[in-house]
Amino acid sequence: MDLVARGWGRRALCGLLLWTGACARETVGEDDTASESSASVGVDSGSTDASTSSDASDGSSGEATSTGSDTAACDLPPLDETTLQDAFIWAGLFDQVAVGTATPLSLATLYTGFPDPVMACARWSIAPTDGASIDADGVLTIDADTPAGTVYTVTADIEDGRRIVTKDVTTYVPLQQPIVRTWSELSQLPCDGGDPFTPRALILELAFFDNGEAWITWTPFESYVDYTASFTWDPDTGALALTVEGGAYVPPDIDAEGTARIDDDGQLVLEDMFLGSAEGSATPPGCGHVFE
């Protein structure tokens, strides 16, 4: 399920991730090693059995799928059939996991526009196991030296084979850059070098993510996003380049290359570029933006 294609807004991001714990993602030291352990587990680890058993392996290095113990010890009630069939593995907005981190995964359903947690007995496993492991609570740990772009298949065996769901996740190296956060527009810079001005419609959410994705939205509402892009930023030169990927509204007057810097007041200043005019806006295009 491609949740990004549904237009998830940054404002909802941490709210969605709080119950998975992903907003408090742990960093794994280089000395941490992957193990192949899993057990009977519900989303709430307090109501699960944390015992483990031996793993099943096909005998080839790195291609084993870790398996856990029988889910009989789990005391959560069985899922109703509708929830069982609709449940999926929630791995975050992008189905990506950062190397050198431990990321909680969860079972969820999507009935209300936002993922709803599913409390269930499940046994977690992952393949391949080189450079990664998943524990009884669904916490996926990726070694710091795992190459970016590695694809892992995570499996949740719900209620001892009653239903098996899988999710492919891809690793990435997280950006450690000060522009990675959510910004709100204060003003725009005119092309003639004059004073900043306030457009009739401000970009209320400019979100840079640590996986190189950016979301731009004038009027956030629930999960709405105007358009998405990938970005690169050179902190030494300030060069910023966006590659527009699509969205509900993509302005025709985007100038996607320029510079970005954070000034002494902590404001993000984009110069010699323009993120586009709001839909139906009569304000002339500018040549820069100021965000806080």
What residues contact residue 268 under an 8 Å CB cut-off, 6+ apart?
179, 183, 206, 260, 261, 262, 289, 290, 291, 292
Q: Given this model, what pLDDT does residue 193 score?
A: 86
Q: Could you give the percent of the chain with pLDDT greater than 70?
A: 75
Per-residue tokens: 271: 């110069």
Confidence of residue 113 (pLDDT cuts 50, 70, 90): confident
Query: How far apart, in whole angstroms, are the C-alpha atoms of residue 213 and residue 237?
Result: 20
Q: What is the pLDDT of residues 222-254, one digit of tens each?
A: 789 999 999 999 999 999 999 999 999 999 999
Q: Given this model, what pLDDT does residue 35 score?
A: 34
CA 243, 248, 250, 256: dihedral to nearest 10 degrees? -30
Q: Given this model, what pLDDT does residue 9 score?
A: 39
In the predicted model, is pLDDT for residue 4 greater than 90? no
Q: Given this model, what pLDDT does residue 233 score?
A: 98
Least confident of 16-25, 228-237, 268-277: 16-25
Q: Choose between 182 and 72: higher pLDDT.
A: 182
Residues forming beta bridges with residue 207, ordered by sequence position: 182, 215
What's the whole-number mean pLDDT along residues 2-23? 37
In the predicted model, is pLDDT for residue 8 greater than 50? no
Average pLDDT along the chain: 81
Least confident of 56-60, 113-117, 246-250: 56-60
Per-residue tokens: 193: 């070098």
SS3 251: coil
Q: How far is residue 212 from each of residues 11, 172, 181, 195, 243, measured CA to CA in Å?
A: 18, 10, 11, 31, 10
CA angle 146, 148, 152 (to 5 degrees): 70
In the predicted model, is pLDDT for residue 5 greater than 90? no
Confidence of residue 84 (pLDDT cuts 50, 70, 90): very high
In the predicted model, is pLDDT for residue 67 greater than 50? no
Q: Given this model, what pLDDT does residue 98 score?
A: 96
